[in-house]
Amino acid sequence: MEPKNCHICGVKEGEIHKFGCEIELCPFCGHQIISCMCIYEYLHIEESKEPTDKETEQWIEIIEQKGRIPYQIEIDNLIDAIAYYKGFDINESTHNRIVKKIT
C-alpha cells in the first residue's frame, strides 16, 4: 500500500500535523483541535476572544506536553466521514475509543 499523507497539511502517517490542520485531534478531548474549547479552558482565556499568537504558542506547548496525536489514516477517514455527513456528530464514546486505540 502506498503511504498516505494528510490531505490537509501533507504530513506522513505517524507524523504530527502542522498546527491548525483540521484533521488533528485534541489530546485532551479527542475532538478536532481547531474547533474544541480546550485552549480556553487550559489557558483561562475568554471564549469570546480570539487567542493571541502568544496564547496559541502556549497552547501548542501544553498539547505537546500532553502528547499530540499524529496523523493516522483511520482518523482521516473518520473526519472525512463527519465532513461528508454534515450535521452528523460522532459521540463522545466513539471519539474516546478511537483516541484510546491510537494513543
Q: Tell the burial category of 3 from Cβ atoms under 10 Å away from its Cβ (0-12, 13-18, 19+).
A: exposed
Residue of the chain from 25, 26, 69, 98 that contacts Zn ion (CB under 5 A): 26
Q: Applying CB under 5 A, does 36 fall inside the site for Zn ion?
A: yes
DSSP state of 16: P
Specify the DSSP element, H or E, that contains 39: helix 38-43
Q: Applying CB under 5 A, does 28 fall inside the site for Zn ion?
A: yes
Angle, vertex CA 46, rays to CA 40 and CA 52, nearest 5: 75
What is the pattern of x (binds Zn ion, CB under 5 A) and - over residues 6-25?
A: x-xx-------x---x-x--
Residue 9 or 101 having the CB closest to Zn ion: 9
* Residues at the contact surface with Zn ion, assessed by CB under 5 A: 6, 8-9, 17, 21, 23, 26, 28-29, 36, 38
